[in-house]
Chain A
Amino acid sequence: MRIIIVGNGKVGSTLAEQLSAEDHEITIIDQNQQNVDNLVNQLDVMGICGNGASYRVLLEAEVSQADLLIACTNQDEINLLCCLVARKLGAKHTIARVRNPEYSDQLVFMRDELGLSMSINPERAAASELFKVLKFPSAIKIETFSNNRVEMAELKLRKESKLCGVYLRDLHKLFKGRALICAVQRDTAVTIPDGNFMLQAGDKINVIAPAGDMLDFFSAFGAILPEAKNVIIIGGGRISFYLSRMLLENGAKVKIIDIDPRRCDQLARLLPRAMVICGDGTDQDLLDEEGLRDADAVVALTGVDEENIILSLYAQSRTEGKVLAKVNRPSLAAIAETTGLESIISPRALVANMIVRYVRAMHNSMGSNVETLHRLVGGQVEALEFRVSDSFPAMNIELKDLNLKPNILIASISREGKTIVPGGRDVIMKGDRVIVVTAHHSFDDLSEILR
Chain B
Amino acid sequence: MNRKTVFFITGKIILAEAAMLMLPLLVSLVYHDGMTSEFLIAAALAAVIGFLLTRLRPEDQTMYAHEGFAIVALAWIALSAIGALPFCISGYIPSYIDSLFEVVSGFTTTGSSILTQVEALPRSLLFWRSFTHWVGGMGVLVFVMAVIPLSDRRSMHIMRAEVPGPIVGKLTPKLQDSAKILYTLYLILSAIQFVLLICGGMGPFDSAIHVFGTAGTGGFSSHGESIAFYHSAYIEWVITIFMALFGVNFNLYYYLLLKNYSAVFKNEELRWYLGIMVTSAVAIAINIMPQTGGFFTSLRYSAFQVSTVMTTTGYATADFNLWPAFSKTILVTLMFIGASAGSTGGGLKVSRLLILAKSSKNEIRRMLHPRMVTAVTMDEKPIPESTVTGAFMYLALYVFLAVLSLLILSLDNFDLETTFTAMAACFNNIGPGLGVVGPTGNYSAFSDLSKIVLIFDMLLGRLEIFPLIFGLMLPSRRSITRALTRSGARK
Mutual binders A and B: yes
Asked if A346 lies at the interface with its beta carbon under 8 angstroms from chain B, I say no
Given contacts A33-B384, A41-B65, contact A25 B154 (CB under 8 A): no
Asked if A421 lies at the interface with its beta carbon under 8 angstroms from chain B, I say no
Q: Mark A20-48, 1 if CB is under 8 A from B, else 0.
A: 11000111000001100100111111100
B interface SS class: loop
The answer, among A33, A34, A42, A46, for a CB contact under 8 Å with B173, is A46
Interface contacts beyond A25-B172, A42-B153, A46-B170: sample of 18 additional A-B pairs, CB < 8 Å, sorted by A: A2-B173, A20-B153, A20-B173, A21-B153, A25-B174, A33-B384, A34-B384, A37-B384, A40-B156, A40-B170, A41-B65, A41-B154, A41-B156, A43-B154, A44-B156, A44-B175, A46-B172, A46-B173
Closest residue of chain A to B169, judged by CB?
A: A46
B172 pairs with A42, CB closer than 8 A:
no
Asked if B157 lies at the interface with its beta carbon under 8 angstroms from chain A, I say yes
Binding site for A on B (CB under 8 A): 65, 153-157, 170, 172-175, 177, 384
Q: Mark A70-108, 1 if CB is under 8 A from B, else 0.
A: 000000000000000000000000000000000000000
Q: Mark A222-261, 1 if CB is under 8 A from B, else 0.
A: 0000000000000000000000000000000000000000
Closest residue of chain A to B64, judged by CB?
A: A41
Number of A-B contacts (CB under 8 A): 34
Looking at A20, A33, A46, which has the most chain B CB atoms within 10 Å of its CB? A46
Task: Report the separation of the CA atoms of residues A44 and B152 in the bound assembly, to the nearest whole angstrom.
Answer: 8
Nearest CB of chain B from residue A334's CB, rounded to whole Å: 17
Task: Report the separation of the CA atoms of residues A20 and B174 in the bound assembly, to the nearest whole angstrom.
Answer: 9
Given contacts A25-B173, A26-B173, contact A43 B384 (CB under 8 A): no
Task: Report the separation of the CA atoms of residues A26 and B170 in the bound assembly, to the nearest whole angstrom.
Answer: 12
A45 pairs with B65, CB closer than 8 A:
no
User: Contacts of B157 on A, CB cut-off 8 Å?
Assistant: 41
Closest residue of chain A to B175, judged by CB?
A: A44
Task: Report the separation of the CA atoms of residues A42 and B156 in the bound assembly, to the nearest whole angstrom.
Answer: 8
B173 pairs with A45, CB closer than 8 A:
yes
Nearest CB of chain B from residue A51's CB, rounded to whole Å: 13
Looking at B65, B153, B154, B173, which has the most chain A CB atoms within 10 Å of its CB? B173
Nearest CB of chain A from residue B330's CB, rounded to whole Å: 38
Nearest CB of chain B from residue A89's CB, rounded to whole Å: 15
User: Contacts of A27 on B, CB cut-off 8 Å?
Assistant: 173
A42 pairs with B154, CB closer than 8 A:
yes
User: Contacts of B175 on A, CB cut-off 8 Å?
Assistant: 44
User: Contacts of A41 on B, CB cut-off 8 Å?
Assistant: 65, 154, 156-157
Task: Report the separation of the CA atoms of residues A34 and B153 in the bound assembly, to the nearest whole angstrom.
Answer: 19
Nearest CB of chain A from residue B314's CB, rounded to whole Å: 35
| 16 A/B residue pairs, CB under 8 Å, sorted by A | A2-B173, A20-B173, A26-B173, A33-B384, A34-B384, A41-B154, A41-B156, A42-B154, A43-B154, A44-B153, A44-B155, A44-B156, A44-B173, A44-B174, A46-B170, A46-B173
Closest residue of chain A to B384, judged by CB?
A: A33
User: Contacts of A43 on B, CB cut-off 8 Å?
Assistant: 153-154
Task: Report the separation of the CA atoms of residues A27 and B153 in the bound assembly, to the nearest whole angstrom.
Answer: 14
Task: Report the separation of the CA atoms of residues A44 and B156 in the bound assembly, to the nearest whole angstrom.
Answer: 7
Nearest CB of chain A from residue B155's CB, rounded to whole Å: 7
Closest residue of chain B to A40, judged by CB?
A: B156
User: Contacts of B153 on A, CB cut-off 8 Å?
Assistant: 20-21, 42-44
Task: Report the separation of the CA atoms of residues A42 and B155 in the bound assembly, to the nearest whole angstrom.
Answer: 9
Task: Report the separation of the CA atoms of residues A277 and B120 in the bound assembly, to the nearest whole angstrom.
Answer: 94
**Which 10 residue pairs spanning A and B have beta carbons closest together?**
A25-B173, A46-B173, A44-B153, A43-B153, A44-B175, A33-B384, A26-B173, A46-B170, A45-B173, A27-B173
User: Contacts of A40 on B, CB cut-off 8 Å?
Assistant: 156, 170
Closest residue of chain A to B149, judged by CB?
A: A44
